Amino acid sequence: MNETLISACTMFLVPATLLFGALGVANSSFLKMLVCLLGVATTGIWLYRIWLWTSLSLIDRRTSLGLAGMYACAWLVTFLAQLKNLLSPR
């Protein structure tokens, strides 16, 4: 695998993972929503970066997009759940 690609994925994987921990300890709905937005933004930038990378082999591109896509889906589901909780009547 491309060493630069590994470094780039690590650059996004670490913050995205740490944000899941931050979501667990957030104590207000607003803070949880903010953490979710940061997670969605981080994985969105990660997907964008991999998508526009021109010198990747096909297998590296698919692997990287798959990893970033999994995190993007997880963050999107988490964001939608927080949005539902925020907007639903108590």
**What pLDDT sits at residue 29?**
87
The range of the structural domain enclosing residue 64 comes to 3-87
Q: What is the pTM of this model?
A: 0.85
DSSP class per residue in 2-66: -HHHHHHHHHHHHHHHHHHHHHHH--SHHHHHHHHHHHHHHHHHHHHHHHT-SS--HHHHHHHHH
Question: Mind listing the pLDDT tens digit for each residue in 28-84?
Answer: 888 999 999 999 999 999 999 999 998 899 999 999 999 999 999 999 999 999 999
> How many domains does the chain divide into?
1
